[in-house]
Amino acid sequence: MATINSVLGEIDSKDLGFTLMHEHVMVAASGLSTHYPDLLGPNREQRAIECLKTAKAHGIDTMLDATTFDLGRDPALLKNVAEASGMNLINVTGWWLDVPRFMHGVGANQMADEFIKDLTEGFRGTNIKAGMLKCAADFEGVTAPLETMARAVARAHLQTGVPIMVHSYPTGHVARRQIAIFKEEGVDLGKVKIDHSNDTTDTEYLQWILDQGCFLGLDRYPGRLVSPHMRTVTLKRLMDMGYGERLCPSHDCICLHVHNEQPDGSIAEQHDFHKSNPDQYLFMHRHVIPELQQLGATDRDIEMLFVDNPRRLFEA
């Protein structure tokens, strides 16, 4: 068993239940929800509460909210939504892709110290603590600023033992460089989850990541470019290859986001991410799990993916 920081306080890993390991209550920009909240649409907090209540009513117990500072993290919002919905929410510290130019001289040790404070003291001005670390790289590869953040996350991990989730770009095999950095820093790869891995059907590459000891986040549903069906086929193929105990399916769903102005000057009732996934956090239950079962997965397999594997990562 392991103790995990949720936004409402510590929880035991044995109490996680059915867990989605890469979701978002809100994605915006740092400070946007405070300074320009109307861009996020009306009744933001209540909409998020109702969305998570629905997910909870359908058997989802815990969500890993992967929203970093540069993605617009709002700790107070997460706390209020968790309290009102009954959902366990675990938030991250670390960094996504948007490193501002004025931070390009900041060092890995400096940022590691900041991330450790988020994990051990709380996000500044609150007692809400992060429960996981996150770093990122995308189609441009691991740029110099993103390498600084990756090394900072690695060093914070070494001092705290908190696991790491990694935004990656499988089409470009970007995890090869990210994993090399972790190896240089001395990270235990059994506590690392490489995310967005179902943006490819290249099981040879995904097997290489798994053979390094990492978990895989198969966490884009319904996703783009690769169909939901082929994402599920790839998931089942990896299970059949013997890697089922290190796979974590999820959606990368966004409940709250900016509502854009339309050509006629009106404001859209739903943000664009909602339009692409109206099932939101229930896409897994309504589409993926039934198809997995049609492909031969058992009830025990489903429990492994959504209950055992998240707990296994936190307890690694």
pLDDT tens across 125-166, in order? 999 999 999 999 999 999 999 999 999 999 999 999 999 999
Summarised one tens digit per residue, pLDDT across range 19-43 is: 999 999 999 999 999 999 999 999 9
Q: Which two tokens stand for residue 314?
A: 């936190």
pLDDT computed for residue 174 by the predictor: 98
Residue 11's alpha-carbon distances to 17, 58, 89, 120, in angstroms, are 11, 21, 10, 15
Select from 247, 177, 179 the least CA-distant residue to 219.
247
pLDDT computed for residue 275 by the predictor: 87
C-alpha–C-alpha distance, residues 83 and 197, integer Å: 32
Res. 119: pLDDT tops 90: yes
For residue 257, which amino acid is it? H
pLDDT computed for residue 1 by the predictor: 86
pLDDT computed for residue 98 by the predictor: 96
Give the single-character DSSP code of 262. P
Summarised one tens digit per residue, pLDDT across range 219-233 is: 999 999 999 999 999
The model carries a pTM of: 0.97
Summarised one tens digit per residue, pLDDT across range 52-107 is: 999 999 999 999 999 999 999 999 999 999 999 999 999 999 999 999 999 999 99
C-alpha–C-alpha distance, residues 135 and 256, integer Å: 22
Query: Which runs of E-coded beta strand occur in the chain?
Result: 3-6, 9-12, 19-26, 62-65, 88-94, 132-136, 164-167, 192-195, 215-218, 247-249, 254-256
C-alpha–C-alpha distance, residues 252 and 20, integer Å: 9
Summarised one tens digit per residue, pLDDT across range 278-294 is: 999 999 999 999 999 99
Res. 257: pLDDT tops 90: yes
- What CATH number does domain 3-315 carry, 3.40.710.10, 3.40.50.720, 3.90.550.10, 3.20.20.140? 3.20.20.140
Q: What percent of the chain has pLDDT over 90?
A: 97
Q: 144-160 and 175-185 are packed helices; what angle lies between their axes, rounded to 10 degrees?
A: 50
